[in-house]
Amino acid sequence: MFKSKKLLAFLLVFVLAASVIFAGCQSTKDNSSTTTSSNSSNSSSSNKSTDTTKKIKIGFSLPTMREERYQKDKAAFEEEAKKLGAEVLTQGANNDENLQNSQVENLITQGIDVLVLDPQNAESAATLVDKAHQAGIKVISYDRLILNSDPDVYISFDNEKVGELQGEYLTKLVPKGNYFVFAGAPTDNNATLFKQGAMKYIQPLADKGDIKIVFDQAIKDWDPNEALKLAENALTANKNKVDAILAPNDGTAGGIIQALAEQKLDGKVPVTGQDAELAAAKRIIAGTQSMTIFKDVRVLAKNAADIAVQLAQGKEVKDLAQVNKTVNNKKIDVPSLLLTPVVITKDNIDKELVDSGWFKKSDLYGN
């Protein structure tokens, strides 16, 4: 009798233990099924799980770090992402699309959840969007639009407006005369939009014969040295007879104004700019550059980091509060956020650039 009781007790304990172990196996399987559910919702994240315990990893790929603004993009993006508990891998590609391609492929193998891509080449970067999507990674087209592809979100400034502000400013100041028209890199969709916007003001006056466009050239890779060389040649070819110059950004404006200075024309010929670089702000105060366009990339980067984290957490693009319009990239209407650029001249430089903390007063005027 006693033996059978012992056996009974042993069996009871055994059954109890088995049921506990079985219950444990059941819960992990659920999680994986949860991942499955999110997978089905969007095509681009075929095998990327929104595992909330895992630290979000963002790949931030920039075309270059040469222009001052990219230092600010990087700092503001990393600061915001860190605040949101995400890790950022930032890469600058030295204006080299092959380097950017390999950097992005490397970021993908490092298991990023979202790719924030500012393309060196608007067309060839389309393959990077596909590669990221095949790995289940969402893509944000940052500052420059990636063409003929399916980025999930595009975030930038109203770049045609940038050009309009430059063109309007210059034609108001110089409604008649000889113009040099410079454009940014042909591989950069922004350069096309800037020029398009500026020509809305310049072309009608040229058609009327008030303005004569005596030089019209794009600058490879936005290279300031290339801009210097082109401006020197244009001044020689036109015997220094120029009344106004459309320079697409501050970097190239610096090269062009150096060429003017060699002919003692600096400060005598209005020159535009963009990016509110420190050297340009000083030239505006000195009178050798007429204006620049302020694009607060701190706001751009903050929004991009915020959107990247939301996407990594599985939020649908249609539910993103910041995305308020679409921009067509020759393939799709990309859900977008476009920020507003501001004209900077001698008159509002302190208000817009010092009061906003973009520069310290001492940066501009010394101690």
With beta carbons less than 8 A apart as the criterion, state whether 361 and 350 touch: yes
Give the nearest distance from C-beta 338 to ligand GAL in angstroms: 12
Angle of helix 159-173 versus helix 189-208 axis, rounded to 10:
30
Min dist. Cβ of residue 64 to ligand GAL (A): 6
Give the separation between CA 25 and CA 267, rounded to whole angstroms. Answer: 77
Bridge partners of 245, per DSSP, are 180, 271
Looking only at Cα atoms, what is the longest distance across the chain? Answer: 120
Running DSSP on this structure, what letter comes out for residue 227? H
d(CA 281, CA 70): 17
Question: Is 31:63 a contact under the CB 8 Å cutoff?
Answer: no
What span, in angstroms and rounded, lies between the C-alpha atoms of 321 and 135?
26
The reply on whether position 306 binds ligand GAL by CB under 6 A is no
Using the rule CB under 6 A, give the single segment among 24-32, 182-190, 201-209, 234-242 that binds ligand GAL.
Answer: 182-190
Least separation in angstroms between residue 272's CB and ligand GAL is 13
Q: Which of 101, 166, 187, 190 binds ligand GAL (CB under 6 A)?
A: 190
Task: Give the nearer residue to ligand GAL in terms of CB position, either 113 or 251.
Answer: 251
CB of 250 to ligand GAL, least distance (A): 8
Cα separation of 341 and 139, whole Å? 24
Beta bridge partners of residue 153, listed in sequence order: 140
User: Of 192, 249, 289, 292, which lies in the binding site for ligand GAL, with binding defined by CB under 6 A?
Assistant: 249
Q: Which is nearer to ligand GAL, 164 or 275 (CB)?
A: 275
Stretches 14-22, 184-192, 232-240, 304-312: which one binds ligand GAL (CB under 6 A)?
184-192
Query: Shortest approach of ligand GAL to residue 284 CB, angstroms?
Result: 17
* Exposure of 8 in the CB half-sphere (CA atoms within 13 A): 5
Per DSSP (E only), the strands in 150-229 are 153-157, 177-183, 211-218
Minimum CB–partner distance for residue 187 and ligand GAL (Å): 10
Residue 164 interacts with ligand GAL (CB under 6 A)? no
Touching ligand GAL, residues 52-71 (CB under 6 A):
64, 67, 69
Residue 74 binds ligand GAL, judged by CB under 6 A: no
Question: Pick from 222, 294, 358, 359: which binds ligand GAL (CB under 6 A)?
Answer: 222
Q: Which of 171/292 has CB closer to ligand GAL?
A: 292
**Pair 316, 307: CB distance under 8 Å:** no
- Distance, CA of 3 to CA of 73 (rounded, Å): 78
Burial 310-335 (b: 16+ CB within 10 A, else e): bbbebeebeebeebeeebebeeeebb
- Under the criterion CB under 6 A, does residue 272 sit at the interface with ligand GAL? no
Determine the size of the site formed for ligand GAL (CB under 6 A): 12
Whose Cβ is closer to ligand GAL: residue 50's or residue 71's?
71
CB distance 337 to 155 below 8 Å:
yes
Only one of the segments 105-113, 183-191, 281-289, 308-316 lies at the binding site for ligand GAL (rule: CB under 6 A); that segment is: 183-191
**Closest CB to ligand GAL: residue number:** 190
Q: Which is closer to ligand GAL, CB of 67 or CB of 160?
A: 67
Residue 269 Cβ vs ligand GAL, minimum distance, rounded to whole Å:
22
Q: Quick check: 142 binds ligand GAL (CB under 6 A)?
A: no
Helix (H), strand (E) at residue 6: helix 2-41
Which residue of 72, 74, 133, 144 would you call a contact of ligand GAL, by CB under 6 A? Answer: 144
The pair phi, psi for residue 244, each rounded to 5°, is -160, 150
* Residues of this chain that bind ligand GAL (CB under 6 A): 64, 67, 69, 143-144, 184, 188, 190, 222, 249, 274-275
